[in-house]
Amino acid sequence: MDGNGRWAKKRGLPRSAGHGAGAKTFRMITRYCSDIGIKHLTLYAFSTENWRRPAEEVSALMKYFKQYLEEALRDFADDTVKVNFIGDITEFSPELQELMLENQRISADRTGMVLNLAMNYGGRAELVTAFKKIAKSIEEGKLSPDAINEQLISDSLYTAGQPDPDFIIRPSGEYRTSNFLLWQSAYAEYYIDDVLWPDYTKEHLNKALIEYSKRSRRFGGI
């Protein structure tokens, strides 16, 4: 969900205002994806590198995260969306961690769209965590090194049990992966859109999905 800061700067506003506008877009797009039948949606909300941003900006982001999590518990009790967090959430405040875990618990049995929120997430950090988990199993004699294969690694990631992404959309015109789902995205289709995230609409998403529908996915074959 990229471009919040640039959106604010273009309007002479503090970067926190961009994150506020981006939060509204997040709610709208999440609801729309659920309504049109998307089964899994992963949104990159906060990366392992985002802690390096100015303290004021990080504080504003934490405020919007808290608002969303409280809203989700209060207003979406009868919703079908299953909320899941990927990343190392132990770095967040105890209050935020409690809200995250409560959202996961409340929505655990829902059968609608799975919403993955990548929080304190980084693709490299995810792989390191997975490899440490595998190494510990080997050290404890529960696993043979010969048993290591692609499926085992996939099963050791935050997204274990979920399908790899089919389609990754990057708003704001940036041409890089930014450490997002490095293992899982090996054969994902990419789509770059110049629009900044706070200006992203259902129409932008529809255009991207139509483009995706025209592509032929060969997964390395012919």
Active site members: 2, 50
Side-chain half-sphere of 154: how many Cα atoms within 13 Å? 11
Under 8 Å between Cβ of 58 and 51: yes
Number of residues that make up the chain: 222
Query: What would the 3-class secondary structure string for 121-163 be?
Result: ECHHHHHHHHHHHHHHHHHCCCCCHHHCCHHHHHHCCCCCCCC
* Per-residue tokens: 79: 């919703």
Closest CA to 93 of 54, 134, 48, 59: 59
